Amino acid sequence: MTSGTAPSPFSEERLLALLDMEKMTLSSAARAAQGPSERWMRYLGFPGGILAFLLLYYLPFGPGLSGAAQAGIACFVLALVWWVTEPFPTYVTSLALMFLLLTTGASGAKAIMDVLGLEVIWLNLLAFILSAMLVKTRLARRMALWLVVRFGSTAPWALFAFLLLQLILAPLIPATAARCVMTLPLMLVVAAIYGSTEEAPNAFGKNLMLLNLVGISVLSSMSMTGSSANLIAVGLIQTMGGHKLYYMDWMRLGAPIAILSTLAMWFLGPRLLFRIPPSEQTPRIPGGIEVVRQKYLEMGPLAAGEKKALAIFGLVLFLWMTDVFHLRWFGVEISAPFAALLGALIVLFPRWGVLQWSEADIPWHLLIFSAGAYAGGLALDDTGAAEWAVRMLFGRFDLAALPFGVAFTLIMAVMMYSHLLTTSKTVRTMIMIPIIITLTKSLGWDPVSFALPAALCIDWVVGLPISGKPNVILFSTNQYSVMENFKYGMMTCTIGLVLLVVSAATWFHWLGVTPAFWSLPQ
């Protein structure tokens, strides 16, 4: 840095401090506005949310829409406007949403309070304890430095390394939140090496976090075991559609689309959405990659704490990977949250553990944000508002008069973007797949030609920070805004939709899954 230049947030001292990472801290402070447009959004977001609420709450009920369902929609839209425009920290909006759900009658007190007992909330809490263990023992730092030394000499290859990492983990660990928290410390360190911090995020940091979000979610659609919602869809297709699906039936359709979509975002994200300038194309630590290599060599062999952390995480990873055998082995199924609970117990156990409770640094603001999002999503589901919205969308089209390709495109578009209406993949599956099977059977189409491609869309929950568990976790890093998440997610979903439609006309048809693209219902 030349004399007279203002101190840079990417100074050597700052970056080396981030590399040391005594604790992984996710600040509860509101994200600073990035430019005049975001500042104006914050000014207008508060009255805009109230106006949207009043309009939706006092409009005449739609056909088939109850008062509680309409109130739930109004409350959720108000929260969505505030989450997007950020006039307050996200957890404040979640608290306001929970209060409004009660006072408008959209949800009961017990249902709202019970969200703090949901598996997803516990999994987030316990996974952060495991993540803090990786950071405290410096195992995360070792892994991140190795990753940068091996692949990270330039920004594109650093991003590709994470894409490859998520591709490897996807079939091994079905729990998306577990994969997210497992790799989050690595993301934070690599982002810091490339000069992107919570206080001053740059284009590399935005691409890194959002590409990982896409990798974690979209790559789960490669196999039917990628998430429990996928398995529910398989069961519905068998019971309602009369077609038994095998592992390879799903993979030969899902894997090419998922992999091509993530590769497309790896290429387009840094070049089109968030362009990485030349100054961010290489590590920002003075001395570049050689300094990173030196820091890695200075760590020497694995320390005792690192070995203990590796053993604990290996045990949890083993339980995550072998959940289908638990009943046979142990007589009880150890779900992902309880596997994480066992790991956290060992981590915090006196004398034998590696972490004190005060060192875990639980991001309670993130859990409150999650609780509000799930309370709003459950209210939409429980009152029937989400199902009503989906039925209204389908009811606007006369599918009986349309050729297969047009009907397929419309149904896949509804399925792909429907994750913006509900925060639960399982509930979305339970609503959407039966509707699609019933509708296509009534039209004379083979239900599998629609239901199986629609099931591939279940895991594409990348549009908003409230759309899934990894979304909430990664958004808390303050590396990107809600609107940036929306732009990146919508581009991903649109690419996926185009690939689905093209595949229906070619690849799926050749495999015998879909009929001729321009054929009419029988």
pLDDT at 8 over 50: no
- Give dist(CA 206, CA 222) in Å, integer: 25
- Residue 369: in which H helix or E strand, if any? helix 364-382
Share of the chain above pLDDT 90, in %: 29
CA angle at 52 for the pair 50 and 54, rounded to the nearest 5°: 70
pLDDT at 403 over 80: yes
Mean pLDDT for the stretch of residues 317-339: 80
CA 205, 208, 210, 216: dihedral to nearest 10 degrees?
A: -150
Residue 418 near residue 462, CB atoms below 8 Å: no
pLDDT at 6 over 60: no
Q: What pLDDT does 473 receive?
A: 83
pLDDT band for 496, please (50, 70, 90 cuts): very high
pTM across the whole model: 0.71
Q: What pLDDT does 394 receive?
A: 66
Q: Where is average pLDDT lowest: 4-8, 39-43, 60-64?
A: 4-8
If you search the block for the tokens 């509930």, which residue do you land on?
427
Helix (H, G, I), strand (E, B) or coil at 363: coil
Phi-psi region of 331 (alpha: psi -120 to 50; beta: other; left: phi over 0): left
Residue 82 near residue 88, CB atoms below 8 Å: yes
CA angle at 263 for the pair 419 and 411, rounded to the nearest 5°: 35
Mean pLDDT for the stretch of residues 117-132: 75
Q: What pLDDT does 276 receive?
A: 93
Q: What pLDDT does 288 receive?
A: 61
Tell me the per-residue pLDDT of 480-493, one tens digit each, with 9 for 90 and over.
988 899 999 999 99
Residue 221 near residue 457, CB atoms below 8 Å: yes
Distances (CA, A) of 279 to 15, 17, 36, 288: 16, 21, 24, 12
Helix (H, G, I), strand (E, B) or coil at 515: coil
- End-to-end CA gap in the chain: 72
- Give dist(CA 101, CA 377) in Å, integer: 11
Q: What pLDDT does 19 receive?
A: 57
pLDDT band for 203, please (50, 70, 90 cuts): very high
- Give dist(CA 479, CA 486) in Å, integer: 14
pLDDT at 10 over 50: no
Number of CB atoms found within 10 A of residue 229's CB: 22
Mean pLDDT for the stretch of residues 291-309: 84
Crossing angle (nearest 10°) for helices 336-348 and 304-321:
160
Mean pLDDT for the stretch of residues 154-169: 88
Mean pLDDT for the stretch of residues 20-39: 57
pLDDT band for 34, please (50, 70, 90 cuts): low
Q: What pLDDT does 21 receive?
A: 52
- Residues ≥6 apart with Cβ < 8 Å to 400: 443, 521
pLDDT at 206 over 80: yes
Mean pLDDT for the stretch of residues 271-281: 91
Residue 224 near residue 429, CB atoms below 8 Å: no
Tell me the per-residue pLDDT of 340-370, one tens digit each, with 9 for 90 and over.
899 999 999 988 888 888 777 677 877 787 7
Pairwise pLDDT comparison (252 vs 227), residue with the higher score: 252
pLDDT band for 74, please (50, 70, 90 cuts): very high
Tokens of 52: 């949207």
Phi, psi of 493 (to 5 degrees): -65, -35
pLDDT at 296 over 70: yes
- Residues ≥6 apart with Cβ < 8 Å to 490: 463
Cα torsion 285, 287, 291, 292: sign: positive
Residue 134 near residue 309, CB atoms below 8 Å: yes
Mean pLDDT for the stretch of residues 199-207: 90
Q: What pLDDT does 515 receive?
A: 92
Chain-wide mean pLDDT for the chain?
Answer: 82
